């Protein structure tokens, strides 16, 4: 499972991220919001082409699970062939629930109802995170386009055993956390 957050309309960053789908053998793509627009507080990213990002993502529509980010809108949905306006989504993996959210509604300070052994995967902060808190997985892949906090651009991968934050340019694993623990 390839996990991408905060594309913010950069076709350049998206193409780099999608190259990992094949190399990692990922069958599913999780999109954690802020897909097409850069947002009023962010600089316009390199390779900003929102329509091209939508067209590229549409090529993978049959394997995408997405949630809405705070920069996503109903107009964005008109360009995308996959649902992207859900505030959150749930996956069941090996009998364990995994909540997907952009991170502006639910976040580590205000988690959805989760039991020990379950997981919360989010974006929004542009800060990578992979840890357990009170038995719950907290995972943020960082941002492929506008990283913050001195972190490099990054994405996430789940191989059935661990969630990993991967540096976009080098492929280096920056953080890793087993799940289920």
C-beta of residue 24 within 8 angstroms of C-beta of residue 141 = no
Q: Domain extents for the chain?
A: 2-178
Q: Which CATH class is domain 2-178?
A: alpha beta
Q: Which of 79, 71, 66 lies closest to 145, judged by CA?
A: 71
**pLDDT, position 70:** 95
Give every CB contact of residue 145 below 8 A, 6+ residues apart in sequence.
6, 7, 8, 9, 10, 13, 45, 153
- pLDDT at res. 96: 94
Centroid of chain to Cα 6? 7
Residue 2 in contact with residue 30, Cβ under 8 Å? yes
pLDDT at 39: 85
At 141 the pLDDT is 99
Q: Residue 44 contacts by C-beta under 8 Å, 6 or more apart in sequence?
A: 38
**Rounded Cα–Cα distance for residues 53 and 132 (Å):** 33
**Rg (Cα) of the chain, in Å, rounded?**
15
pLDDT digits (tens, 9 = 90+) for 90-112: 999 989 999 999 999 999 999 99
Q: In what order do the strands lie in the sheet with 129-133?
A: 88-93, 96-101, 119-122, 136-140, 129-133
- Give CA angle at 77 (168, 81), nearest 5°: 75
pTM: 0.96
Residue ranges of the chain with per-residue pLDDT less than 50:
none
Check residue 42 and give its pLDDT.
85
Tell me what pLDDT residue 112 has: 96
């Amino acid at each position: 499972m390839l996990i991408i957050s905060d594309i913010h309309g950069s076709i350049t960053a998206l193409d780099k991220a999608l190259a990992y789908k094949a190399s990692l053998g990922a069958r599913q793509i999780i999109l954690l919001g802020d897909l097409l627009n850069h947002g009023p507080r962010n600089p316009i990213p390199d390779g900003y082409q929102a329509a091209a990002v939508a067209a590229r993502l549409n090529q993978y529509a049959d394997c995408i699970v997405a949630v809405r980010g705070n920069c996503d809108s109903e107009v964005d949905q008109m360009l995308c062939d996959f649902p992207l306006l859900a505030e959150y989504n749930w996956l069941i993996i090996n009998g364990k629930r995994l909540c997907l959210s952009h991170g502006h509604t639910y976040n580590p300070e205000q988690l959805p109802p989760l039991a020990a052994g379950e997981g919360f995967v989010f974006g929004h902060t542009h800060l990578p995170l992979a840890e357990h808190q009170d038995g719950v997985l907290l995972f943020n892949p960082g941002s492929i386009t506008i990283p913050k906090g001195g972190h490099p651009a990054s994405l996430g991968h789940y191989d059935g055993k661990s969630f990993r934050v991967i540096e976009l340019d080098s492929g280096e694993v920056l953080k890793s956390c087993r799940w289920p623990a």
